[in-house]
């Protein structure tokens, strides 16, 4: 059955009161049911999804069919969130069967990909065709739709999060209708960083630019005093800059400076604000194998192979870990950094590494960088969830004077009432999500506790 026929059948069935017959269907007859032995967990293994069934559609029509026939459901990307955001009291719809690069429009300078494509699935091909995206996260293993839904970001004072590349998206709504939203659509700023609350995104069109090369230079042992005195200069030293620290000894262990070779080619020298150029490739977490990291030592390479810290095909970061991340206005960066440094005694014992990055402001209602240039303080934790969850309120309290916003896909404890004060458009977001999803098909414990309250 093609889509037109399906939608026609659907509307006739609804008009004829046959919905009950649909919902009474055995789930086994629906497309893409995945038989999974054992519990279904997220990437880090710290969260076991409660959703009973997992479906893996391979066409948009199958997504529509599942949408009409199932009750509660949620899209599931590459499972890289650390909390219950992708869970559902009903079913999960994996987008891993929708993973292709669909088209490149050289005139509009856009690329259209299916929602379940991971950046690493198509970035090399895009480069081969002469194009690039503006930025990537620390890893290319995540799906485009999953990353955009949570406001996932890389670094760079001029770089918005990954969702800022979205030019339009296709969304299957709860009634199975497929709609396209572009930048002119009034709902676009709500739906792009949509926390899975509006429907299942099936494809996204992203802005692209001519491809570029990046060189990555690492400096070791930057004194924290240099960060305090020269934060803006250091974070502007490249197209994308990351500071890694364990908060001890007034020291930033690694400064990763990623520079576009078409813009920034001068040698930086062996010393930078008191830090020294690394003499070999580094992993952000001391002692872990550098096989997994993107190439460094100033060797130029394509954007997709330098902007992420980690390479496709390898385990990114540590694997056995947890993560939290907190966004504050960039103008408060130094105060926020010092506030965390003052907690080093509590933070360090649970920490694998922290990372400090910058993100340019955007206009997506639920983006942590909504209308404010931001600095993000990230924590890669040891997998000691109870202890981490016990510590988070103190960190959130220390950053509260800066109206801190958490990364939606990582661990945090801030409740909906507090978040509402920090997201001026949250009430509008909730109202719009209810308009799209009046029956609450996409509601889950996460949305109920963190957003709707
Ligand atoms: C090792 C590691 C490194 C990371 N590095 C970074 C980083 O550098 N920067 C950063 O910001 N974050 C980072 N993250 C966090 C990560 O980018 C986010 O958690 C992101 O959301 C993961 O995407 P996913 O495809 O795994 O989404 P999932 O966890 O599968 O889903 C996340 C949310 O998106 C929704 N969703 C997914 N697909 C769709 C769809 N098609 N339609 C509608 N909703 C959808 C889900 O329902 C859910 O609500 C990292 C995570 C890990 C594990």
Res. 181 pLDDT band, cuts 50 70 90 = very high
Percent of the chain with pLDDT over 90: 85
* End-to-end Cα, the chain, rounded Å: 41
Domain spanning 3-94 has what CATH number? 3.30.43.10
Q: Give the separation between CA 277 and CA 269, rounded to whole angstroms.
A: 7
Contact 391 CB / ligand 1 (< 6 Å): no
Task: Give backbone dihedrals phi and psi of 294, rounded to 5 degrees, phi first.
Answer: -70, 150
Contact 155 CB / ligand 1 (< 6 Å): no
Q: Where in the chain is the domain with CATH 3.30.43.10?
A: 3-94
Whole-number Å distance, alpha carbon 76 to ligand 1 midpoint, is 9
Res. 264 pLDDT band, cuts 50 70 90 = low
Q: Where in the chain is the domain with CATH 3.30.465.10?
A: 101-210
Pairing of strands 91-94, 53-55: parallel
Instruction: Taking residues 425-439, report their average pLDDT.
Output: 97
Contact 316 CB / ligand 1 (< 6 Å): yes
Instruction: Taking residues 17-23, report their average pLDDT.
Output: 32
Those residues whose C-beta lies under 8 Å from the C-beta of residue 103, and which sit 6 or more positions away, are 111, 112
Contact 75 CB / ligand 1 (< 6 Å): yes
Contact 85 CB / ligand 1 (< 6 Å): yes
Q: Where in the chain is the domain with CATH 3.30.70.2520?
A: 214-415
Domain spanning 214-415 has what CATH number? 3.30.70.2520
Q: What is the pLDDT of residue 23?
A: 40
Q: Which CATH number fits domain 101-210: 3.20.20.70, 2.40.110.10, 3.30.365.10, 3.30.465.10?
A: 3.30.465.10
Whole-number Å distance, alpha carbon 272 to ligand 1 midpoint, is 34
Residue nearest to atom 38 of ligand 1 (CA): 146
Q: What is the pLDDT of residue 209?
A: 98
Pairing of strands 275-277, 271-272: antiparallel
Instruction: Taking residues 103-126, report their average pLDDT.
Output: 98
User: Do 225 and 250 meet the contact criterion of CB atoms below 8 Å apart?
Assistant: yes
Q: For the whole model, what pTM was predicted?
A: 0.93
């Amino acid at each position: 059955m093609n889509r037109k026929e399906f939608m026609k059948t659907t509307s006739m069935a609804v008009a004829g009161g046959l919905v009950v017959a649909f919902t009474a269907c055995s789930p086994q007859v629906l497309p893409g049911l995945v038989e999974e032995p054992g519990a279904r967990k997220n990437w880090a293994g710290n969260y076991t999804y409660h959703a009973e069934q997992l479906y893996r559609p391979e066409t948009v029509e199958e997504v529509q069919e599942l949408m009409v026939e199932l009750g509660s459901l949620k899209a599931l990307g590459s499972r890289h969130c650390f909390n219950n955001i992708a869970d559902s009291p009903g079913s999960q719809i994996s987008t891993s069967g929708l993973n292709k690069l669909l088209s490149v429009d050289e005139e509009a300078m856009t690329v259209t990909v299916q929602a379940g494509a991971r950046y690493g699935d198509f970035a090399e091909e895009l480069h081969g065709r002469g194009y690039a995206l503006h930025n990537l996260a620390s890893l290319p293993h995540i799906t485009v739709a999953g990353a955009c839904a949570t406001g996932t970001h890389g670094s760079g004072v001029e770089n918005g999060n990954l969702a800022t590349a979205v030019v339009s998206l296709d969304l299957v709504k709860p009634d199975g209708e497929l709609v396209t939203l572009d930048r002119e659509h009034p709902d676009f700023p709500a739906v792009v960083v949509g926390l899975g609350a509006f429907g299942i995104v099936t494809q996204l069109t992203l802005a692209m630019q001519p491809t570029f090369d990046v060189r990555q230079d690492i400096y070791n042992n930057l004194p924290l005093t240099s960060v305090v005195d020269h934060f803006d200069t250091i974070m502007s030293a490249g197209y994308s800059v990351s500071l890694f620290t364990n908060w001890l000894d007034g020291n930033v262990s690694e400064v990763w400076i990623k520079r576009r070779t078409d813009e920034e080619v001068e040698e930086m020298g062996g010393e930078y604000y008191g830090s020294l150029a690394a003499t070999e490739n580094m992993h952000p977490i001391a002692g872990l194998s550098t096989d997994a990291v993107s190439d460094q030592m100033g060797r130029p390479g394509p954007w997709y192979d330098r902007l992420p810290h980690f390479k496709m095909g390898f385990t990114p970061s540590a694997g056995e870990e947890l993560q939290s991340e907190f966004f504050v206005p960039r103008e408060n960066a130094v105060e926020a950094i010092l506030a965390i440094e003052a907690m080093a005694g509590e933070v360090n014992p649970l920490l694998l590494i922290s990372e400090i990055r910058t993100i340019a402001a955007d206009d997506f209602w639920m983006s942590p960088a909504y209308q404010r240039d931001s600095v993000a303080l990230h924590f890669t934790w040891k997998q000691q969830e109870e202890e981490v969850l016990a510590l988070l309120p103190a960190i959130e309290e220390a950053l509260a004077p800066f109206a801190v916003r958490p990364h939606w896909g990582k661990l945090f404890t801030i409740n909906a009432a507090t978040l509402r004060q920090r997201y001026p458009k949250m009430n509008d977001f909730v109202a719009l999500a209810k308009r799209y999803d009046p029956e609450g098909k996409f509601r889950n414990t996460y949305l109920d506790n963190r957003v709707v309250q």
